[in-house]
Structures are given as C-alpha cells and as structure tokens.
Amino acid sequence: MFIRLSAGTAMPLRALASLPFLALVACAPDGSPGDDVPLDTDVRRASYAIGQDIATTLEGIEDMVDRPALLRGFSDALADISPALTDMEMRDAIVAFNEMLTSAQADEIAGARAEGEAFLADNANKDGVMTTESGLQYEVLREGDGEVPQEGQQVQVHYRGTLIDGSEFDTSYGGDPASFSLGGVIPGFAEAIMLMKVGGHLRAFIPADLGYGDSGPGPGQVLIFEIELLGIE
C-alpha cells in the first residue's frame, strides 16, 4: 500500500549502504548462462538464491554497470587475487559513480515534472475537471449522498493508483477495502477524499508536490487515483 507518506527520498544506488556486495554479483558478460548451470543440489540452489538477492541491489542501474569489469572484481575476490585498484581508487570510483547516478536521477525527475506540468495544464481544460487552490485536480465520477469526511478522521475506501502513462502502482481492488486516517496519507489523497461524500466516486490528479515528491512510485510524477469513499469510521 503506497498511499501513505513516504519516509524519505530513495538513494539512487541502494547497494551503496553495503558496498562489499557490489563485488559479489556474478553476472556473465553476455547475460545469464541459463540452463548451462544446473540447479540440482541444495548448494547450487542456495547459491542461485544468493545471486538473485544480491543482484536486486543493482535494480534500476543494471544497464549502467560494466558487467565484464564486475565479473572480474568478483572472480579476483573469490580467487584471493590482489585487487587491481587501490582502496582509494575504488572509493573514488564509487563516489564518482554515485554522483553520476544522482545526476541521472535528477535529470529523470526534472523530465517527469515537466511532463506532469504539461499534462495538468492540458487536463485542466477538460470538461468536468476541477482545480483546487492547492493545484489538485479532480473529476466527479459519481456523487455521494452521505457525510463528508473531516481532517484526521478514519475512512474506508477502495482506490486504484496509476501514473499518467496508465501503469498501475497500487490498488485495493481485488481485496478488502483500505482503512486509514486522513492524517496519515499523502496530502493530495487526503484533500481529494475531503471533497467527497460517502458513496461517491472520484478521480484525482495529484501533482508531485501533493504526492510523493521526488520519491516513492514515479519520482516527480503526477499520480492519478480513482477513489470510492465507502464509509467514515
């Protein structure tokens, strides 16, 4: 469930908190060896599971890593061969790499924000779309006939969250309704619910600064939530 407030901005390279793992990712230069490595013993299956777990530390940056060099570092470490780089050279390289990732992430976020601003500017002119003082946009899909929730109250809802490209990042549909305090969710989501009456159905278009900001699903992006307000607890 992603609609709660984010704890903070994610680092561009999650593995930087445990750098020794960078030298342990056994990737073949041309990709996975696939069936060439049988997984027919507990040791091999456990080794495969360890490899899978370690590889997740490179998720999102795998295309920026030089696999032959990564494999060389892995092989040298296992063979107890003296490192080809000094400790200082390795630290400097990691710092430079992290700076490169940070810059790439900043460019990606800036692009997402520009795309979101253009989307909202166009969306504001569509029939039925309303814009609040905060910049939240919403469209009423079904009017409710019950009470209007107030700040800090506990509500029960069904919701679906997508990005502007249509990709879904969170939903309560397919399970039990979600129940939470309006003081514990992102500002745009709480504001949207307080525009509704129980029984209503609304589509909210939440600017990044009313959502997860530059973290969470879709850093810097506009979030679109369809919300059904089922009750106030």
Residues annotated as catalytic are 159, 169-170, 186, 212, 225
Q: Write down the residue that tokens 């630290």 correspond to.
A: 91
Residue 168 phi/psi, 5° resolution?
Answer: -85, 135
DSSP helix/strand/coil, 223: strand
**Residue 101 structure tokens:** 């990732």
Alpha-carbon gap, residue 129 to 219, rounded angstroms = 24
Closest CA to 135 of 209, 203, 200: 209
In angstroms, the Cα distances linking 71 to 7, 17, 22, 29, 193 are 34, 21, 10, 7, 51
DSSP helix/strand/coil, 231: strand
